C-alpha cells in the first residue's frame, strides 16, 4: 500500500471523480497512493450542517481541524490542524 491522502470537501463525489480521472488515479490503480474524500458537513457541530462562518466566506477553524481528527485515528501521518 502506498501513501494515504484524506481530503475534506463539500463535494466528495466530484473530488473523487476528478482524482480518479487524473494522473493521481493512475497512481492509485498501481497502488502508489490511496485517496479518500470526506464530506465536511459530517464534521459540523450544528444540526443545520453549516460549514461557513457568520459572514459566509470563511470556515471556522474548529470545524476544519475537527475534520482531520478521524484521519489521525486511522493512522495517517499528517492531517489538518
Contact between 8 and 38 (Cβ < 8 Å): yes
63 pLDDT higher than 70: no
pLDDT reported for residue 78: 46
- pLDDT tens digits, residue range 17-27? 999 999 999 99
Contact between 4 and 34 (Cβ < 8 Å): yes
Of the pLDDT bands very low, low, confident and very high (cuts 50, 70, 90), residue 41 is: confident
Q: Model's pTM, two decimal places?
A: 0.64
Cα–Cα dist 34/61, whole Å = 26
Choose between 36 and 58: higher pLDDT. Answer: 36
Amino acid at each position: 500500500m502506498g501513501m494515504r491522502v484524506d481530503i475534506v470537501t463539500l463535494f466528495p463525489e466530484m473530488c473523487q471523480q476528478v482524482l480518479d480521472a487524473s494522473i493521481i488515479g493512475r497512481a492509485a490503480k498501481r497502488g502508489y497512493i490511496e485517496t479518500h474524500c470526506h464530506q465536511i458537513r459530517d464534521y459540523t457541530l450544528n444540526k443545520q450542517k453549516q460549514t461557513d462562518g457568520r459572514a459566509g466566506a470563511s470556515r471556522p477553524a474548529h470545524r476544519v481541524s475537527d475534520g482531520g481528527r478521524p484521519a489521525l485515528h486511522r493512522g495517517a501521518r499528517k492531517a489538518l490542524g
